[in-house]
A and B are shown apart, each in its own frame.
Chain A
Amino acid sequence: MSRLVEINNLRKYFPIRSGLFGKIVGHVKAVDGITFSVGQSEVVSLVGESGSGKTTIAKCLLLLERPTSGEILFDGYNITEARGKEYRDYRRSVQAVFQNPFLSLDPRMNVHDIISEPVKNHMKLSRKELYEYVSKLLEMVGLDQSFLEKFPHELSGGQAQRVAIARAISLNPKLVILDEPTSALDVSIQAQILNLLAELKEKMNLSYLLITHDLSIVRYISDRVLVIYLGKIMEEAPTEKIFKEPLHPYTQTLLTSVPDPFAKDVREKVILRGEPPSPTNPPKACRFHTRCPHVMDVCREEEPPEIQFGEKHRTYCWLHVKK
């Protein structure tokens, strides 16, 4: 599998300003040294709680934020330095679907205009061709032509999310960033949308970067999972391995926190105490040590090294360091 996106040691610090002259008094370390890659037609999930920095990574990829340091390579070129044709190509190749479709769709545009906006920018089509193109896209996401004239407020949550997906795939992108695509939807609709996304991936050979705090939806759709906490990777593994042998205590607690009516007897519940600490002043050494049920002295003193477990499975935890 060739690599589509490579993220090397990405950092994004947001300055905290205070006082009359806006003196910088500190930094929110939203993303603090993250390295991973997404392969061609691969689905990679970023999993973590609020404040873990998962959405900031997405924003850096979408060029909505400029990374503080580190590089993002797409098809071999560095996107933060891309200009001209490369830049236009990049914008076209990477699209996003966000959590709340009613916030990401313009309430004053109808469905046809919403979907055709990016198409008009990047392709030269006559009005009739454009209409046909948009109808075809709608069909691909499971809506019929009667929706073309509708406005976002006339749609249900699931329908609106389908429109947002149609817009995202309208330019044949290579990578689609899905930022909590089903969190705002009901369970029965969530299943419909997940199936649609899986189907589109096969049909259009897409890669996804799925961002979610809910590990249960990850299993259906993703090939590889990265668990992040306070801007750092805790564990990375192929999806099945994350579910079968989670190594990091944080991954284990995330897994058992998902309310699953069918797994009640299968697993022991671990409830995390306390809230995630502030990323302004994250805990020293291992960032998880303040909430970790297995904390040891060394966890408070030294940052855990990267430990490889078989192929493609890595974690950062002192528990797994052999003495």
Chain B
Amino acid sequence: MKNHSILRVEDLSIDYIVLGGSLKAVRNVSFEIYEGEVVCLVGESGSGKSTVGLAIAGALPENAIIRSGRIIFMGKNLLEAETRNKKVNNIMIVFQDPAATLNPLFKVGEVISDVIKTHLQIKEREKIKEKALEMFRMVELPDPTRIYNSYPHELSGGMLQRVVIAIALSTNPRMLIADEPTTMLDVTLQAQIIDLLLSLKRKLGLSMLFITHNLGVASEIADRIIVMYGGELIEEANSSELINNPLHPYTRGLMECIPRTHIKYSKLKHIPGTIPDLANPLKGCIFSDRCSEVMDVCRVVKPPIKEYSRNHKVACHLYMEEKQ
């Protein structure tokens, strides 16, 4: 891994304007992605992980307002107006449901040709088709010519997700944002797509922000894992460090919730309660009302995210005292 930062998110806060107020969906999130690195954002629904992804891709819905922060991609702040239009080639995003991403009225070949024509400025029809077929081959789709002439409903979920990845990569992006790309797929196809993304990363030196709610998936693909909860970043570490030595009570709880395949337990652990209300985030630590190790200080003071050991940051009062 090169130690060259490709994307830096600084102090990002995003609100959603909704009926009767605003939801503070993302609050003061900062992180960095290095060139050729896969970073996983892990969190439950409502943790703000997708909002961060959309903000980086410049695809936030209209009711979202960026309250503060900068997103620096290859040295330029994406949130400034003049850079906004230029970045499209370099960051691409893949969503959860490929069937909803593709227009059912167009053959997938037409969709990818359109993207290639606009972004790569290729005019000759033959060359466009050649490039499209090459992309289909790259994502290991069988029989590319048949796929080229198919409508989305003629392809299965796993194939559609490959098509969408091919479209995203056809513009030769530097970075891919994958928002739960395997959640709708069966486990066997999920394993295939993860395998494909990893081989593409090696082949193209692609940096990736992979968004998922599944720590198991994250551990298979990520170099580094960032855990989000209630719109805040609560823990960040190298993949194996986070899996073997989770610090934050929420991360530890998440790990214990995962049903394991190689050991039998009589009862699964679970985290009581539900995710916090983002219209009025808690005053102290955002996790304090569900935390089993809550202390008085947690309800009053928000713990800042601090380095606990090398490559391991956590936002929790449990680890503040030890360091001081």
Contact = CB atoms under 8 A, between A and B. Distances in A.
Interface of A: 49-50, 156-159, 186-192, 194-195, 198, 213-217, 219-220, 240, 243, 253-264, 266-267, 269, 271-275
A320 to B, nearest CB: 22
Given A220-B267, A256-B191, A263-B261, 5 more contacts: A186-B44, A186-B45, A257-B190, A259-B194, A262-B258
Contact of B220 (A190, A243, A259, A272): A259
A262 B262 contact: yes
Nearest to B269: A191
Given A253-B188, A259-B217, A275-B159, A187 B262 contact: no
B204 interface: no
Nearest to A215: B261
Sorted nearest first, the 7 A-B pairs with minimum C-beta distance are A259-B216, A191-B270, A261-B219, A216-B259, A186-B44, A191-B257, A257-B191
22 contacts: A49-B188, A49-B189, A158-B274, A188-B270, A189-B270, A192-B272, A194-B268, A214-B187, A215-B261, A217-B259, A219-B259, A220-B267, A243-B264, A257-B187, A260-B262, A261-B218, A261-B258, A262-B243, A267-B262, A271-B188, A271-B191, A274-B142
Contacts, number: 128
B208 to A, nearest CB: 16
Given A187-B215, A215-B187, A195 B270 contact: yes
Given A191-B270, A195-B268, A260 B261 contact: yes
Interface residues of B, number: 46
A259 B219 contact: yes
B192 A188 contact: no
A310 to B, nearest CB: 19
B195 interface: yes
Interface of B: 44-45, 142, 156-159, 186-192, 194-195, 213-220, 243, 253-265, 267-272, 274-275
Given A216-B260, A259-B219, A261-B219, A187 B187 contact: no
Contacts of A254: 187-188
A156 B214 CA distance: 19
A275 B191 CA distance: 12
Which of B159, B253, B267 is packed against the most chain A CB atoms within 10 Å? B267
A187 B219 contact: no
Contacts of B220: 259, 261, 264
Contact of A198 (B192, B258, B267, B274): B267
Given A187-B214, A188-B44, A271-B192, A263 B187 contact: no
A259 B260 contact: no
B262 A220 contact: no
